[in-house]
Chain A
Amino acid sequence: MDKNISSKQVLNDMISRHYAEALEAKKSGELVAWATSIVPQELLETMDIKVVYPENHAAVLGARKDAPVFLQNAENNGYSNDLCSYARVNIGYANLKESAAGNIPMPDFIFCCNNICNTVIKWYENLARELRIPMILIDTPFNHTFDVPEHSVKYIREQFNHAIGQLEQITGKKFDHDRLKEVMKISTETARLWKKATALAAAQPSPFNGFDLFNYMAVIVCMRGKQEGLDLFKFWAEELQEKIDCGEGPWKDQPEKYRVMWDGIACWPHLADTSKILRKNGINLITSTYPDSWTIVYDSDDLDAMARAYSSNYANRNLAYGTGNIVQIVKDFSLDGIIYHSNRSCKLMDFRQYEVQRQVHEQTGVASVIFDGDQTDPGAFSLAQYETRIQALMEMMEQRRNERLSRR
């Protein structure tokens, strides 16, 4: 890669190209799929199918402040404002098909995996029905146990075979199992590099610049099975390592005072505001539960390993796993605080958040606050409340720090 440009520029180019190519492909008659964010994309990549990710697209529309017209359209069609705003934006978009903030091609079929939530099943059912297109579902039963039980692995693996049959039917092509092994290799390597790069944020000061994570996430979602994705994370990791070696922190004009984790999705329509307030106070957002969510690595190259991997993400596992994971993050990244986003959209993340916060606090003593917001619906967020909560977080972090110093 050209070392005169930064990884962030490469990232931005890649994302624009990702969308442009998908639109191009559709025009020239290629099949396009819409898929959920932690889907076994290996199956689609093996078939060389162009995939776009509605969650990522909705986030883009949210960040570029173009979500409201789609939210309104969904509401006019009977969608309750209580539903996940990614779903509402996307369903509105499927209807209107045009956004100044960026377009995606309409799908020929949809590919859904409920390892992030069961909401996506309902959302995709509706798309399949409204657009009269086939739906492929990979159902990953929620893990009440810490690990993925064997009967789940078996069920998921057999669904992979079922999905392969559906894909062969939709495309009229044979599925190439050797190619799958290659794609699995790239995917797992990309995920490892993603994990490695995001883990570099642990350095003190952190080379991460606030909301970096949310930007690079687009690639781990959209290009996990591609060589370019792998290359980007390698490049990013090198860049971060250089910064660490020079002792460079996040900002040129101010030091990193506090290190925090963000729990949940960003508030895309308020990205600038939410990050500015942190930066103003010297708070650096260095991690979240995302690095682990997309660390989809398999111990071998068979479908069982892939089944286990796709059912093992944070959102699909029990509270003990979720809490343990954050406790580890607090230690690994030497965190001063946690900002919990009570995201009006995401019931799965919300309805365990209070208990996670309590247990993490008990086990680590780390300072934390919860604020109300939404990932793409601008209405659920109050800047005043956010500021007050961050202020409170500052005070708690300051107090803990003083206590620690006085104990020395």
Chain B
Amino acid sequence: MNLDLQFMAETFIDVLHGIPVTFQIVIVTLLVSAPLGFLMTVTKLGDGRIGRRAAAAYVSFVRGTPVVLQILFLYSLLPTLLNYLIKEVCGLSYNIFTVNPILYAYVVFILNTTAVLSEVFRSALLTVNKGQMEAALSIGMNRFQAYVRIIIPQALTAALPNICNTTVNLLKSTSLAFMMTVKDVTAIAKIDASFGYNYLEAYLVIFFIYILLCSLVQGVFHLTERAAAAYKKPASVRNARRVFS
């Protein structure tokens, strides 16, 4: 088996142009999903029964169906549906089929990531014992202040490893965006490969690229975790044991 190294080198350069698109999907998705996911967490932990049920149903639906299927479904449904709405309901002449397909990618990944993050945030909030909330109230802080200053910072620290996982998973699943004709890393590799049927080489190249990108994300999170968890690091035992005399 001979690998076409020349082709691999060219593909590598080509594929680098897809990285901004890949990261764009990841970052936009996270920026939108984080607040939405947090809202959903609040709904889940709240008193409203209907809200709780709806949130639970949403999460189990999104997490219980394959992303590929969601993409196929949304990508056949959304454009047609939007086209119908624009043409028939609003009477406008905008051609929905020319819209940047990355928007559909956003929709799919935001739907998924919101569900995942809502679970991540929920379990993280529950790791902060409620005594600290009571202590905050007892010295005159209100609930909002206690959440912002005491509870959420600790919950976020606890959630960082899971947020890292979520981000890495998201990064990997952006490779499905080619199904919606988004020109991300995977799509570019496939296009390059299709001319000379060098699929194997192209896939090897993007394997490497994805490993690199994922390691990068994990590295960034690792540093963040270390900085955020400074308050958990016990001083030397001797210090901690020295008692007031």
Whether chains A and B associate is no
B-side residues, CB < 8 A to A, are: none
Residues of A within 8 A of B (CB): none
